[in-house]
Structure 1
Amino acid sequence: MVTINKNSSRPYYEQLVIGIKEDILHGILVPGERVPSVREMAKQLLMNPNTVSKAYKVLESEQVLVTVQGKGTFVKKQENMPRDEHRIQELQQQFHILVIEAKHLQVTDEEIQQWLKQAKKDLGGSQA
């Protein structure tokens, strides 16, 4: 389940967003499954409910979660979801910046490729 690194420079809500997405990729959370309420999640992670609410709103705007009034918040089914080309383009720009930073720190192409392979392995993807 999601963990928050209190020493990270990444905001807590961003860590929660990434953690929930990672749990979905690992099959810990499945489409249609109810996620803890804002208050429940805040209690579990020892966080302010406003922070959890912000993360859930981001996930809803990205169509990862859906809230059903009076029933709760659920992992959204991703069937026939069109690719979000705008978000993909933003992600590509972020990746470009990461590569620039890595090259500035003299990280080799081989190391960058190894990082990608390791990330794919950690998420259960192929080694290619």
Structure 2
Amino acid sequence: MSIEFSPDKPIYQQLIDRIMGDIIRGNLKSGEKLPSVREYAVEAGVNANTMQRVYKELEQMEITETRRGQGSFVTENEERIAALRHEMKEQLVTTFLQSVEAFGFTRDEMVKVLMERSGSDD
């Protein structure tokens, strides 16, 4: 099962985002073992070196940890996972607001659309 990648962002970054998303959504739990580099590379349809870079970056970000002879695991540091969730939320909001401003929409216009989409009348 190969993953479809966007041409506007490096593949390794898309894989990092995918794994972080799985952690944030709870699809990957704290302390859970990740597939081996080779297994994930085959699953994603990428070179093993790309996957190795992904795992290295995640470890440097303290999102995963490598246990010698056992593999890579999602961090058990719940505070780090909470911080990751907050960081991703802030990043998404910033990107959204930059796009909104670039097109000249007002905050009130966007709040109205968001409220309509969420089904809330508040």
State whether TM-score is above 0.5.
Answer: yes
Structure 2 residue aligned with 1:6 = 5
How far apart are the structure 2 equivalents of 1:75 and 1:92? 22
| SS in structure 2 of the partner of residue 34 of structure 1 | coil
Question: Gaps spanning 5+ residues in structure 1: where?
Answer: 119-128
Aligned sequence identity (%)? 31
Matched, 1:106 2:104: yes
How far apart are the structure 2 equivalents of 1:114 and 1:77? 35
- The alignment's TM-score, normalised by the length of structure 1, stands at 0.68
Query: Is the contact made by 1:66 and 1:74 (CA closer than 8 Å) also made in structure 2?
Result: yes
CA distance 1:14–1:28, change in 2 (3 Å)? same
- The alignment's TM-score, normalised by the length of structure 2, stands at 0.71
Q: Which has the larger radius of gyration?
A: 2
| SS in structure 2 of the partner of residue 28 of structure 1 | coil
RMSD: 3.3
CA distance 1:7–1:74, change in 2 (3 Å)? same
Q: Which has the higher contact order (CA 8 A, sep 6+)?
A: 2
How many residue pairs get aligned? The number is 112
CA distance 1:104–1:66, change in 2 (3 Å)? same
Structure 2 residue aligned with 1:61 = 60
| SS in structure 1 of the partner of residue 31 of structure 2 | coil
How far apart are the structure 2 equivalents of 1:14 and 1:52? 10
More helix per residue: 2
